[in-house]
Chain A
Amino acid sequence: MTLPRALGPEIATPRDGARHARHRLHAVTRTPLGLYGAAVLRIGVSGLFLLNLLREAAHADRLWGPGSPYTPELFRASVEARGADGRLSWWYTWLGTQSPDYFRAAYVLAVAVSALYLLGWHTRLMAVLFAFVVAGFYMRSAVAASGFELLSLLFANYLVLCAPGRRWSLDARRAARATPASVSRYEELRRRVVTVLHNAGMALIAFQVMVVYGTAALYKIRGATWRDGSALHYALRLDDFATFPELSVRLAGLGSALALLAYVTVVSQLLFPALVFVPRLKYVVLVVMLGTHLGIGLLMALPMFSAITVVGDLVFLPTPFWLRAERAVRRLRAPRAKSR
């Protein structure tokens, strides 16, 4: 069953409504929804975080380590200035260290945890460790954080509730090989609670993505340049966000087509939270989002941010989509395996 279908079946009469509500409560405690979506999110978020760590290997000390211009003293002072979060603050302040050796160990831990979480090895434990690592790295360089770091933190946190290791993971392979034993009543209870947590986590992730788009659109509606269609005229001429300035300036000269693109951007973001639950239309919205993000990633020097928003969009693809994708990949690989 897909997440949207579980959340919104057709309701004709109040009695139907009550029956559906009971049915839905039943489903939410018995059936983990969107297991493939959770796995895709796990692979996408941990893969991008790992890529980011490795890409910044030469810059790690300056971004997160004792060599940062945001010195450990400034970091500590900012944590203390915010105050109040005392007892649990070690969860996200653990990277504020003066010691290069401690930092090197933390960096190696972050790489190892990201890689193991990506593979889905002891996923439950790795999910918690990954959230711990991401929170520490995010907070240490929050002064220079962009949307990529922010979304990594949010997804890593929500994924702690989910069961993202049930598909496409080492854990799933091991579980498939094990002979199924009968399930005791306490084990059944545990599984039901885990299922509710997973479903709540997936709903929170979907809601968070909808908040991201809805808020981004509402912010833009306040701006005069988004209303008169000239926003992209300016955005494409910003030196800070131009990977290929000649191409950007050529696009910026398109005039009314560019204004139309600005309106499509705002309208698609604004309607995303509603349209993403409409059976066929949602693919159109997701393709528009994909196009927007590819454009932003390639032209506007925001590749990691674009990549992680695409991963967030993938949560809305239903399980049958991923099953078909899996089948297509198997077919592509099968002839090669035979010829070997």
Chain B
Amino acid sequence: MNGTDGTDGRGDTERTDGADLTAEPPDPLAPRGTPLGGPLRAVARGAALLVMAVALTHMALLLLYVGPALSPDTARPARADAWLRPLFPQDWNIFAPDPPRANTRLEVRGWRADRPGRWIDLTAHDVAAHRGNPLPSREDQTVLRKAVSAHLAGSPHTQLRAPLTPAAQYLRNVVVVRLDDLGEPRPDTVELRLRTLPIAPPGHPAPAASRRPLGTWEVLP
């Protein structure tokens, strides 16, 4: 690092055609190798060892954090969880262990003054939004899908006017926003159901489609 500094050639490596052009130009902010002397050298060594110890600890806890997730029944070690969350979350199970084997459609209808409106397929909007669009908005592509799967992962409520889980409240809010976007009048309650369209396995006909109710939820004013 040392002797190459201080010459005037730093800015114009493109002109020095005869030199080794794959040699890295000097980094003016790198350590110069100035001798530190006893105490300062001890500080430098201590800092280096501390940084390396913390980095290795992080790596070890990262492995402990993702490791148990690979076998479904093991819980995450609390220490790894406390270290990595919330700033270093890990979630790498896209299309794994298996990709979904069915397309799902969220269908909703609003109720006003105890009379039902028409059923609307909200997923259809998302599907249309990213058809042929190489850079779709997250609002059109991810929000509804993730809201449905977060709700399904929790405990689904199906009773009218029961206290809703946060996931259900969120899904309801997403649905209300979508209905508003579609120009529907604001309903008193929304009724949600999930249509499942299984994909035909290779060489077999597709299993029959099915529907399941997700709930009827009050819309707050």
Binding site for B on A (CB under 8 A): 25, 28-32, 35, 55-56, 58-59, 62-63, 69-71, 74, 77-78, 81-82, 84-85, 91-92, 135, 139, 141, 143-147, 150, 153-154, 157, 163, 166, 175-178, 180, 183-186, 188-189, 191-197, 200, 203-204, 207-208, 211-212, 215-216, 218-226, 230-235, 237-240, 242-245, 255, 298, 301, 303-304, 319-320, 323-324, 327, 330, 334
Contacts and interface: CB of A to CB of B under 8 A. Distances in A.
Interface string B67-93: 001100000000000100111111111
Contact of B27 (A166, A197, A233, A235): A166
Contacts of A197: 51
Given A200-B54, A219-B93, A222-B97, 5 more contacts: A62-B177, A219-B97, A226-B98, A233-B199, A238-B199
Nearest to B173: A69
A70 B37 CA distance: 57
B131 A157 contact: no
Given A85-B86, A240-B145, A150 B31 contact: no
A32 B177 contact: no
* Best-surrounded residue of B32, B36, B45 (most CB of chain A within 10 A): B32
Main secondary structure of the interface of A (DSSP, over half): helix
A327 B36 contact: no
A203 B130 contact: no
Contacts of B1: 30-31
Contact of A191 (B31, B91, B126, B137): B31
Contact of B21 (A219, A226, A327): A327
Contact of A29 (B22, B31, B131, B141): B31
A243 B133 contact: yes
B205 interface: no
Nearest to B135: A303
B43 interface: yes
B51 A196 contact: yes
6 contacts: A69-B174, A82-B86, A175-B28, A183-B32, A230-B202, A239-B127
Interface residues of B, number: 87
Contacts of B137: 55-56, 58-59
Contacts of A31: 1, 30-31
Find the residue from B35, B70, B199 having the highest chain A CB count within 10 A. B199
Given A30-B1, A176-B11, A195-B31, A323 B177 contact: no
Main secondary structure of the interface of B (DSSP, over half): loop
A188 B55 CA distance: 23
B102 to A, nearest CB: 9
Contacts of A28: 48, 52
Contacts of B99: 225, 231-232, 234-235, 238
A320 B32 CA distance: 22
B31 A239 contact: no
A194 B31 CA distance: 9
Nearest to A178: B28
B112 interface: no
Contacts of B141: 240, 301
A222 B31 contact: no
Contacts of B82: 84
A183 B96 contact: no
A333 B134 CA distance: 30
A142 B5 CA distance: 47
A154 B34 CA distance: 35
Nearest to B27: A166
Contacts of A193: 44, 47-48, 51
A180 B33 contact: no
A87 B93 CA distance: 31
Contacts of B176: 69
Contacts of A147: 91-92, 94
B114 interface: no
Nearest to A78: B166
A304 B103 CA distance: 23
A56 B139 contact: yes
B6 interface: yes
Which 4 residue pairs across A and B have the least CB separation, nearest first? A223-B97, A69-B173, A219-B96, A223-B98
Contacts of A215: 66, 69-70, 90, 92-93
A260 to B, nearest CB: 14
A146 B29 contact: no
Nearest to B176: A69
A212 B31 contact: no
Contacts of B48: 25, 28-29, 192-193, 196
A232 B131 CA distance: 19
A63 B40 CA distance: 50
A216 B93 contact: yes
B6 A63 contact: no
A245 B88 contact: no
A218 B166 CA distance: 32
B211 interface: no
Contact of B29 (A191, A211, A319): A191
Most buried by A among B82, B134, B135, B177: B135
B209 interface: no
